A and B are shown apart, each in its own frame.
Chain A
Amino acid sequence: MEKLTVDALRTLARAQGLELSDAELASLLPLVEAGRSGLASIRDIPPETEPSSQFRIF
């Protein structure tokens, strides 16, 4: 997975309507990276595994 940069994060933030300063983006970057890489490293989920979220009509 390609590493995020501050500039890439700024673009993503703006797309969400968040205007963040350079200092704020720099501080956020390692947290966002840690979350992304942690998830990306998890593979081999059995294909039949459904999300635990449910939609039920009683």
Chain B
Amino acid sequence: MSELCWTSMTELARMIASKKVSPVEVVQAHLDRIAALDGKLKAYITVMGDSALAAAKAAEAAVTSGGTLGPLHGVPVGLKDLYCTKGVKTTGGSKILADWVPEEDATVVARLVGAGAIVLGKLNMHEFAYGPEGLNAHYGTPWNPWDAKTHRVCGGSSSGSGAAVAAGICPGALGSDTGGSIRIPASLCGLSGLKPTYGRVSRAGVLPLAWSMDHVGPMCRSAADCALMLAPMAGYDPRDPTTSVLPVPDYAAALTGQLKGLRVGMLRAFFLEGAAPAQRAAVEAAAKALAGQGASIEDVDLKTIGLAPGASHAVLAPEAYAYHEEWLKTRASEYGADVRERLRVGAFVTGAEYLKGQRLRTLLKNEVDAALAKLDVLLAPTTPFEATAVGQNEVRIGDQSLPVRGSLIRFTRPFNLTGHPAASVPCGFTADGLPMGLQIIGRPFDEATVLRVADAYQRLTDWHTRRPAQAA
């Protein structure tokens, strides 16, 4: 297998710009690897081989002619299949949209392509992004590359993005995150993923799950690659009125490796105390590693955190129902059973309950803001446990039996409600060799600090450089 498929996006961009490798070689290496592995992985719904190779040839010509190159010139990316792509079907992982071909690119797709990225294809996902396991009854459930023998979930809903980047069939991908759908698969697949602040990245041309909780962000093999991808994606977009006019900082320049003086809050109650022993130990060890470089660590408890599940139900369920209402009345049989039932729940949330959820959200956001007034970042496990087997519905932690679905989103969902930026980076492996994730939460629009901490941690550790055995 070509080493090019394990080369970082940052390094690929450098190699292409300095003519050490051709974009055609890079794209072809990935297409060959997709052909070899994706029959089992089921990471892609649509492979765009012809258009990717044509774009690679054009990118090669631009390098040869000495033109101005974008920061992602010639670097392949994958797109979760809920990003609209002009002339290419965009299914949302559904049967309902199996043949839908948009007439326009999503803003972030246009921006990535404008920065020189080459789209390899559209990635599998939980149907309509409504599930944290990443299951898919229509296109097959992606296989977590970290276990060759047991079919384990990748985490969702961006499960294809997780499988593809972890298996080296794509160096970086777009995910989307409404309750943890970037961070959960990043955690379960050993990747770095960033949910930016709500309003930092345009949602225009992205199939919605819940408008007020949806976030768009990168999933890569390092925090540095997330910074590289985020830069062209971020910023105001007239097509999305919720985007901010705040200027976009230089994320790459923020990656100084410096941790001295950093004030870190450890989210202990609800988060650390709700995780399995291996995840707890890994996150504690990560905090110690940061402290060893001059960061100060203190415990933080969020008193309103218990409101998050109720608030999320009140807001997410009716927003999702509102988008799907007509199809639920006319094409219900075309949904997978789990997603159809989940969507129908939203029909029974009243207007008063929805607004109660939005008011609870204000309380939660205010408390996280108050904590971050004194601290630079907060730490927590990303998920309470590692990737479970497909079909497994419960996990035991101590004497407790926990539902897989509700538990996977427990630590990530609060920050979809508050809108704070949050990343997940690998922080260790279980005894069975499955990855675990460290969640880093920052102040609104301070992705630069979140990425700086994530990158500095990756300079101290090698978890993010490991490769799954079956895909190595």
A residues with a Cβ closer than 8 A to B are 9, 12-13, 16-18, 20, 24, 27-28, 31-32, 35-36, 38-39, 41-42, 45-46, 49-53
Contact between A32 and B348, CB atoms less than 8 A apart: yes
Smallest CB gap from B328: residue in A: A18
Contact between A42 and B356, CB atoms less than 8 A apart: yes
Partner of A35, one of B317, B355, B358, B365: B317
Nearest Cβ in chain A — how far from B287, in angstroms? 30
Given contacts A39-B310, A39-B314, contact A51 B347 (CB under 8 A): no
Given contacts A9-B348, A32-B348, contact A52 B329 (CB under 8 A): no
Contact between B363 and A39, CB atoms less than 8 A apart: no
Which 5 A/B pairs are nearest by Cβ-Cβ distance?
A51-B358, A52-B361, A38-B310, A35-B313, A32-B348
Smallest CB gap from A19: residue in B: B329
Kindly list chain B residues whose C-beta atoms are within 8 Å of the C-beta of A41.
310
| B357 interface residue per 8 A CB criterion | yes
Given contacts A17-B329, A18-B329, A45-B356, contact A35 B345 (CB under 8 A): yes
Contact between B365 and A39, CB atoms less than 8 A apart: no
Partner of B362, one of A20, A28, A50: A50
Contact between B355 and A18, CB atoms less than 8 A apart: no
Interface residues on B, range: 20 to 34
Q: What 1/0 mask marks residues of chain B from 345 to 369 whose CB sits below 8 Å from any chain A CB?
A: 1011100010111111111010000
Distance in angstroms between the alpha carbons of A9 and B362 in the assembled complex: 30
Which of A12, A42, A45 is packed against the most chain B CB atoms within 10 Å?
A42
Contact between B347 and A42, CB atoms less than 8 A apart: no
Contact between A18 and B347, CB atoms less than 8 A apart: yes
Given contacts A18-B328, A38-B309, A38-B313, contact A45 B359 (CB under 8 A): yes
Distance in angstroms between the alpha carbons of A24 and B344 in the assembled complex: 10
The majority secondary structure among interface residues of chain B is: helix
Kindly list chain B residues whose C-beta atoms are within 8 Å of the C-beta of A45.
356, 359-360, 363
Nearest Cβ in chain A — how far from B320, in angstroms? 13
Distance in angstroms between the alpha carbons of A12 and B321 in the assembled complex: 15
- Apart from A35-B345, A51-B361, A53-B358, list 11 A-B contacts with CB within 8 A: A13-B347, A28-B344, A35-B310, A39-B314, A42-B310, A45-B359, A46-B363, A49-B359, A51-B362, A52-B212, A53-B212
Nearest Cβ in chain B — how far from A16, in angstroms? 5
Distance in angstroms between the alpha carbons of A27 and B355 in the assembled complex: 26
Distance in angstroms between the alpha carbons of A16 and B328 in the assembled complex: 11
Smallest CB gap from B348: residue in A: A32
Partner of A50, one of B307, B310, B349, B359: B359
Contact between A27 and B341, CB atoms less than 8 A apart: yes
Q: What 1/0 mask marks residues of chain B from 308 to 329 whose CB sits below 8 Å from any chain A CB?
A: 0110011001000000000011
Partner of A16, one of B212, B313, B347, B360: B347
A and B contact pairs by CB, cutoff 8 A, 27 listed: A13-B348, A16-B347, A17-B329, A18-B347, A20-B344, A24-B344, A28-B341, A28-B344, A28-B345, A31-B341, A31-B345, A35-B310, A35-B317, A35-B349, A39-B353, A41-B310, A42-B307, A42-B356, A45-B356, A45-B360, A49-B359, A50-B362, A51-B355, A52-B361, A52-B362, A52-B365, A53-B355
Kindly list chain A residues whose C-beta atoms are within 8 Å of the C-beta of B358.
51-53
Kindly list chain B residues whose C-beta atoms are within 8 Å of the C-beta of A53.
212, 355, 358
Smallest CB gap from A31: residue in B: B345
Partner of A42, one of B329, B360, B362: B360
Smallest CB gap from B347: residue in A: A16
Partner of B356, one of A13, A28, A39: A39
Nearest Cβ in chain A — how far from B199, in angstroms? 11
Kindly list chain B residues whose C-beta atoms are within 8 Å of the C-beta of A31.
341-342, 345
Kindly list chain A residues whose C-beta atoms are within 8 Å of the C-beta of B310.
35, 38-39, 41-42
Within 8 A of A (CB), among B192-231: 212
Distance in angstroms between the alpha carbons of A52 and B345 in the assembled complex: 22
Kindly list chain B residues whose C-beta atoms are within 8 Å of the C-beta of A17.
329
Kindly list chain A residues whose C-beta atoms are within 8 Å of the C-beta of B313.
35, 38-39
Distance in angstroms between the alpha carbons of A32 and B346 in the assembled complex: 8
Kindly list chain A residues whose C-beta atoms are within 8 Å of the C-beta of B355.
51, 53
Smallest CB gap from B342: residue in A: A31
Distance in angstroms between the alpha carbons of A42 and B353 in the assembled complex: 11
Contact between B359 and A32, CB atoms less than 8 A apart: no
Smallest CB gap from A33: residue in B: B348
Nearest Cβ in chain B — how far from A53, in angstroms? 5
Which of B344, B358, B360, B365 is packed against the most chain A CB atoms within 10 Å?
B344
Nearest Cβ in chain A — how far from B467, in angstroms? 40
